[in-house]
Amino acid sequence: VTEDTPPLTLQERTLPAVADLIKSGRARRIVVMTGAGISTAAGIPDFRSPDTGLYANLAALNLPEPEAVFDLTFFRQNPRPFYVLARELYPGARYRPTISHVFLALLARKGLLHALFTQNIDCLERAGGVPGDRIVEAHGSFASQRCVDCKVLFDEGKMRGFVERGEVPRADDGVCGGLVKPDIVFFGEPLPRAFFDRMSAVKEADLVLVMGTSLQVHPFAGLPDMVNEDIPRVLFNLERVGSFGTQADDVMVLGDCDGGVRRLADELGWRDELEKTWREL
Ligand code: CNA
């Protein structure tokens, strides 16, 4: 695809053309794929941005490599770094959803959100008002936790206490006494079944939005490549990622995603509703 290649579906590869597609009713099954970049404006660092990213902060914990914090073998030997991170990311009153999260809730409210695949574990999509049945938490969440050995579930209230005190919980029901880990996906662990069960939604999309992800972690990173060729894919990200730019209807909105989303909301005539919903959250 070069600049001269005509788009197949959009009038042109621009945000106003994307807005026209939605306004005309031709995009009614929007599939969204998100990552840490939609939550950085809430104050949660992403992984890979230099200096401010979580990996940069974790350097202080003497990890062999940053990824070790999400490695099961390492966790069994030394669960502390993970619990330092967990304290930071644990859902609760600490972080407020961003404009981007609320935009996704608006899509759902208008019946346009077919599915939202998120890599995030901060639960801000839900807090922003996206209904749970639209969300696929591809890397799990802090909603439940269990012993890494005997898999016995661990109480949520107790878990919160441990995380807030910065302590490492151990299973207290049953006999095993093993380490407790939230049901978030570590490297090498399989993704939740829901991810594979809902993957067909990507093929049903008539518009795809990818927001705030480096598309480095597989299999999630492969989702945008499953999209049919004539389906517009819009990227809201600080940088170009994945295969964006190789399909005729790829639109790249480079910059902070809240800014990009506000521009789209302007084009759609939704801007006041967006800001009001966000303010009143
Ligand atoms: P990542 O690899 O850190 O990439 C983030 C991407 O977002 C990068 O391409 C950035 O350039 C971009 N970005 C950062 N800030 C903005 C912004 N304001 N506007 C637009 N783009 C921005 O994160 P991924 O999600 O791609 O990586 C997958 C990992 C990160 C998943 O397993 C997550 O669980 C994990 N993670 C989640 C959280 C969270 O739940 N909030 C935080 C940190 C990491």
pLDDT of residue 53: 67
pLDDT > 70: percent of the chain: 96
Between residues 145 and 52, which one has the greater pLDDT? 145
98 lines ligand 1 (CB under 6 A): no
Q: What is the DSSP string of 242-275?
A: TTTTSSTTEEEEES-HHHHHHHHHHHHT-HHHHH
Q: How far is CA 82 from the centre of its chain?
A: 19
Q: ipTM of this model? A: 0.95
Q: Which of 46, 98, 121, 217 to mutate to test the pocket of ligand 1 (most atoms within 8 A of CB)?
A: 46
Q: Which atom of ligand 1 lies closest to the CA of 35?
A: 25
pTM for the full predicted model: 0.93
The pLDDT tens digits of the residues spanning 143-163 come to: 899 999 999 999 999 999 999
Atom of ligand 1 nearest to the CA of 121: 40
Q: Over the chain, what is the mean pLDDT? A: 93
Least confident of 13-22, 50-59, 65-74, 110-119: 50-59
Confirm if 32 and 232 have CB atoms less than 8 A apart: no
On the question of pLDDT at 49 being above 80, the answer is no
Q: Name the percent of the chain lying above pLDDT 90.
A: 78
Element (H, E) at 82: helix 80-89
What residues does each domain of the chain span?
1-42+95-139+191-281
Q: Is the CB of 256 under 6 A from ligand 1?
A: yes
114 part of the active site: no
CATH number of 1-42+95-139+191-281: 3.40.50.1220
Q: How far, in Å, from the CA of 127 to the mean position of ligand 1?
A: 18
On whether 48 is known to bind a ligand per the annotation, the reply is yes
Distance from the alpha carbon of residue 112 to the mean position of ligand 1, in angstroms: 24
99 in Cβ contact with 37 (< 8 Å): no
54 pLDDT higher than 90: no
Ligand 1 pocket member 252 (CB < 6 A): no
Task: Name the token pair of 274.
Answer: 């967006």
Catalytic residue (one of 101, 114, 139, 218): 139
Distance 150 CA to ligand 1 centre (A): 32
DSSP letters spanning 146-210: EETTT--B--HHHHHHHHHHT---B--SSS---BEEEEEPPBTSPPPHHHHHHTHHHHH-SEEEE
Residues 207, 247: Cα–Cα separation, whole Å: 13
Give the residue-averaged pLDDT of 11-16.
Answer: 97
Which atom of ligand 1 is nearest the CA belonging to 34?
25
What pLDDT score was predicted for residue 104? 98
CB-count exposure of residue 246 (10 Å: 0-12, 13-18, 19+): exposed
Closest CA to 223 of 243, 206, 240, 238: 243
Instruction: Confirm or deny that 239 is annotated as ligand binding.
Output: yes
Q: Is the CB of 164 under 6 A from ligand 1?
A: no
Cis before 219? omega within 30: yes
Contacts of 143 (CB under 8 A, 6+ apart): 123, 183
Mutate to test the pocket of ligand 1, among 32, 34, 44, 47 (most ligand atoms within 8 A of CB): 47
Q: pLDDT tens across 160-204, in order?
A: 999 999 899 999 866 788 999 999 999 888 999 999 999 999 999
- CA distances 161 to 81, 90, 167, 232, 273, Å, are 17, 11, 8, 45, 37
CB 30 within 8 A of CB 209: yes
Query: Tens digits of per-residue pLDDT, 109-150?
Result: 999 999 999 999 989 999 999 999 999 999 998 889 999 999
- pLDDT of residue 90 exceeding 90, the answer is no
Instruction: Give kind and range of the element (H or E) at residue 83.
Output: helix 80-89
**CA pair distance 281, 52, nearest whole angstrom:** 27
Would the annotation count 262 as a binding residue? Answer: no
| 120 labelled ligand-binding | yes
Backbone angles phi and psi of 235, in degrees to 5: -105, 120
Lowest mean pLDDT among 23-32, 39-48, 127-136, 162-171: 39-48
Would you say the CB of residue 56 lies under 6 angstroms from ligand 1?
no
What 3-state class would DSSP assign to 118? strand
Task: Tell whether ligand 1 has an atom less than 6 A from the beta carbon of residue 118.
Answer: no
Exposure class string for 127-141: b at 16+ Cβ within 10 A, else e: bbbbeeebbbbbbbb
- The answer, yes or no, to whether residue 32 has pLDDT greater than 80, is yes
Average pLDDT, integer, range 60-81: 87
Q: What is the pLDDT at residue 52?
A: 66
Tokens representing residue 270 in the block: 């939704």
pLDDT at position 89, please?
A: 80
